[in-house]
Amino acid sequence: MELDKAIQKRHSTRKFKQKAPDWKDIIECINSARFAPMAGNNYSVKFILIKDKETIQKLADAAQQQFIAQTSYVVAVCSNTTRTLNLYGERGKSYLKQQAGAAVQNFLLKIEEKGLATCWIGYFVDYLVKEALKIPPEINIEAIFPVGYSAEKLKPKRKIDLDNILYFDKYNQKKMKPPKTLEV
C-alpha cells in the first residue's frame, strides 16, 4: 500500500468482526516496529502477543474498555527501561516514550496495510495489566492494542488543519518570511 494512503486511511476501531486474524500477519506488523529509530540504536520496545481469552478479558477489565474482549488477539507494548536510563539518565525517560511512539506508528501503518484494525489503548490500571501479563517491575507497560477486522462503518475523519500546527522560524509565527530579493 502506498505510504500516504496508509497514513490517511488508518483509524481507530472499537467494533470488531468475529473472524480472527492470522497471527502471522500480526507478527509481520510487529516486525515493522523493529525498523523504528531508537536513541543510540538501543532498542527498548518489547511486544507481547496475547491469544489466551482469559488474559484478554483481564486486559479489557484493567482498561475498563470491554470492546477489547471482542478480539482474538491483543498486542501489549512495553519498554525495557534499563539500558536507555543507564545511558541517558533523566532524559532517557523521554526517549523511552518517543521510541515507543515511533515503534507503535510503524506497527499501526502495517496493520492498515494488512487490512487489519486496532485501537491504541493508553488508559488502563498499570498494575492490573502487569499482573495479567507477568511483566517485571523494571519494564514499563506503554499501550495495548486489540487486533482484528473492523466492523465499523467508516466515517470521514476530523483532522487538525496544517495551519494549526505549523510555525515558521519561531513558536507561534504563522507566516514564512518572504525571500530577500537581490538588489542590483
30 makes contact with ligand FMN (CB under 6 A): no
Contacting residue, 116, 119, 133, 135, with ligand FMN by CB under 6 A:
119
- What is the rounded distance in angstroms from the CA atom of residue 48 to the CA atom of residue 77? 7
Element (H or E) spanning 57, and its range? helix 53-63
- What is the rounded distance in angstroms from the CA atom of residue 69 to the CA atom of residue 55? 9
55 makes contact with ligand FMN (CB under 6 A): no
23 makes contact with ligand FMN (CB under 6 A): no
CB-side neighbour CA atoms (13 Å) of 124: 28
The answer to whether the beta carbons of residues 54 and 78 sit under 8 Å apart is no
Contacting residue, 121, 129, 132, 133, with ligand FMN by CB under 6 A:
121
CB within 8 Å of 143: residues ≥ 6 apart: 76, 77, 100, 104, 120, 121, 122
Phi/psi of residue 128, nearest 5 degrees? -70, -40
Number of amino acids touching ligand FMN (CB under 6 A): 9
| Three cell numbers written together for 66 | 470491554
Cβ burial, residue 105 (10 Å; 0-12/13-18/19+): middle
Q: Which stretch binds ligand FMN (CB under 6 A): 41-49, 76-84, 89-97, 114-122?
A: 114-122
105 makes contact with ligand FMN (CB under 6 A): no
Contacting residue, 31, 87, 123, 167, with ligand FMN by CB under 6 A:
123
Minimum distance, C-beta of residue 114 to ligand FMN, in the bound complex (Å) = 17
96 makes contact with ligand FMN (CB under 6 A): no
Between 64 and 83, how does the x/- string for binding to ligand FMN read (CB under 6 A)? -x------------------
Residues in touch with ligand FMN (CB under 6 A): 11-12, 14, 65, 119-123
